[in-house]
A and B are shown apart, each in its own frame.
Chain A
């Protein structure tokens, strides 16, 4: 089985391995730099945190053939308009709470996580909350103590996780902000809550 063909030689493949790995990594770095600039908060893909001062809609885009978030009229969360810094602080509290309460090991966020509970990507826009008028209050109350609230026919319930009122408001702000991220049409064919006045 001795062969001296160049394509079967150890040194050829060692060099190939090094060049392919190096080349791929350089490409990944360049793509990473470009992507990060497109997804920092305050871009078209990932809006600034103060977007929670506005209505968020999820509409079909005829050109892209998927649903995309649309930032609508002024509709401040909890009826109070926040500055950029205040909005960021509230969303930060919410994001930290979702991590501290380990939400991701039951739910998915942007489709990533566990599959025991519904996806949270567009939770803010889900029809589950009834009407857009009572949504905010419903969400805060649910998050604070879900154990005795209506869930589903299977008996699967979210546990009470010791979330304070302020933390719950933060989580709602985080969910509202997350629903404004352009996720290239994920989730597909979503039927959002009625929001027309």
Chain B
């Protein structure tokens, strides 16, 4: 029998042993994202800092690529985490899964090293194949694209085959179809075209249909599992909610893609389609808040893991405010004409990615640590009253909200001075960038970024220590259904 209070892989099933590897890389890349974000943020204030060595473009690329990849690792880890419990069957191709984990991780390492050391190449297709594709978020060179597709196909096979051999639940059905869509959509970003309108048309298929459709459904599946796990909510309830969310999410999100097709050369009918459907996009996010809070509160549930539950609630609200409210604020074309391509987008992007995705992956980290240490107690009365996880939660969320609001202030300045008054010329751009209000926003963003970093360090420290030496075992989740 495994020891309680110590990380012992005997406490984990096969899929979960693989999941903790994915989680370890995920949090490492999360750290890289934070670090390179701080560097890029600092360059707004001190433009000569690292000029010609690590230029803004490099730092920013690593910042957003680390984001995409750590979240992808977080999702793949979460899927492996719940796979055996959900299917009640061993992962069919665990060895292959392990091999692919190492291949993918090696590929990611090479890509990042090339980003940092080679940075750019000549204007030839070989650069796109070997160094950098130069398309925001999917900069990974083509060889790595192919590696990513192969890797995720293996994960997909493992998930689909394991569920088929074991128990095929409602969560399983949604998850399998969602992963298929997720991987299929990635192919839309894997070709070169000179026509930038067509380029950006397909580029948005990948970015939008990942972030605003398939990723949302992915986290809805994780949420369903998480609520059953920590609150003991009945399967029938979470799965019914899951279907409602899928209907609303895909019903609004797929055609909500149109809000990216206002200004890239695409026809004017996208104004109505994009405006209408993207205005509906917050609705499923409201439904999720209701779902989580209703289940937690109104059902008088006792939860078995306080940090996980807190981060799930942070997810529900973060998703609603970051993706929902902050997205809706500038999604209608009449507003978007003045906000498109300003710090508004950065403000929205930060709160949305953090609120919708970082939060729920962190919730999974805590769930994993709990089981890894032998299903230890993680409810109230932790040593030191659980100050580390509480402060990490507070600093990360406050830091993020602070950054979001700061960038929004700078965004307002841009919309007003650069767009409305100066008419979007380069003179207008620089007039806005040099304006004291804009600069002030950038300072506050950096300060809140430091606060966020402190929260991140605390989070890592807490994940390494929470439950260490804990003798009490968890309180089983109960819920008056």
Taking beta carbons and an 8 Å cutoff, which residues of A are in contact with B? 1, 8-10, 13-14, 16-17, 20-21, 24-25, 27-28, 31-32, 34-36, 38-41, 45-46, 49, 88, 91-106, 108-116, 118-119, 121-123, 126-128, 147, 152-157, 159-164, 167, 170, 178, 181-191
Contacts and interface: CB of A to CB of B under 8 A. Distances in A.
Contact of A9 (B127, B174, B196, B240): B240
A26 B301 CA distance: 42
B265 A46 contact: yes
Q: Which of A16, A98, A101, A190 has the most CB of B within 10 A?
A: A101
Contact of A182 (B134, B265, B340): B265
Contacts of A116: 40, 43-44, 56-57, 60
A88 B194 contact: yes
A28 B423 contact: no
A99 B250 contact: no
B279 interface: no
Given A156-B433, A183-B264, A186-B340, A106 B57 contact: yes
Contacts of A190: 423-425
Contacts of B239: 10
Given A17-B246, A167-B123, A189 B424 contact: yes
A183 B52 contact: no
B52 A147 contact: yes
B201 A31 contact: no
A24 B424 contact: no
Contacts of B247: 13, 16-17, 20-21
B19 to A, nearest CB: 27
Nearest to A191: B423
23 contacts: A17-B247, A21-B246, A21-B250, A24-B250, A24-B254, A27-B255, A45-B197, A45-B267, A88-B194, A96-B127, A99-B128, A102-B119, A105-B136, A112-B136, A112-B264, A114-B60, A118-B429, A118-B430, A119-B424, A152-B430, A167-B123, A188-B423, A188-B424
Given A24-B255, A100-B122, A110-B196, A38 B266 contact: yes
Given A46-B195, A116-B60, A188 B265 contact: no
A39 B265 contact: yes
B139 A102 contact: yes
B57 A114 contact: yes
Interface stretch (B341-349, B446-454, B459-467): B341-349
Interface of B: 40, 43-44, 47-48, 51-52, 55-58, 60-61, 119-125, 127-128, 131-136, 139, 170, 174, 192, 194-198, 200-201, 203, 236-237, 239-240, 243-244, 246-247, 250-251, 254-255, 257, 260-271, 273, 337-338, 340-343, 345-346, 419-420, 422-427, 429-430, 433-434, 481
Nearest to B265: A181
A188 to B, nearest CB: 5
Given A39-B197, A189-B424, A191-B423, A103 B134 contact: yes
A110 B423 CA distance: 15
Contact of A100 (B124, B243, B420): B124
A21 to B, nearest CB: 4
A195 to B, nearest CB: 15
Given A20-B251, A31-B273, A112-B264, A102 B243 contact: no
Given A110-B200, A128-B426, A96 B265 contact: no
A14 B266 CA distance: 34
Contact of B265 (A34, A45, A88): A45
Contacts, number: 254
B251 A24 contact: yes
Contacts of B43: 116
A13 B244 contact: yes
A35 B341 CA distance: 22
Nearest to A1: B481
B430 A153 contact: yes
A154 B430 contact: yes
A113 B342 CA distance: 10
Nearest to A160: B52
A117 B420 CA distance: 18
Contacts of B337: 185-186, 188
B198 A109 contact: no
Contact of B135 (A35, A104, A162, A163): A104
B40 to A, nearest CB: 8
Given A21-B251, A160-B52, A111 B341 contact: yes
A184 B334 CA distance: 12
B123 A39 contact: no
A170 B251 contact: no
B123 A93 contact: yes
A147 B51 CA distance: 10
B425 A10 contact: no
Given A13-B240, A20-B247, A116-B44, A97 B264 contact: no
Nearest to B63: A105
A182 to B, nearest CB: 6
Contacts of B133: 99
B296 to A, nearest CB: 15
B240 A187 contact: no
B195 A99 contact: no
Contact of A183 (B136, B174, B251, B265): B265
B298 to A, nearest CB: 10
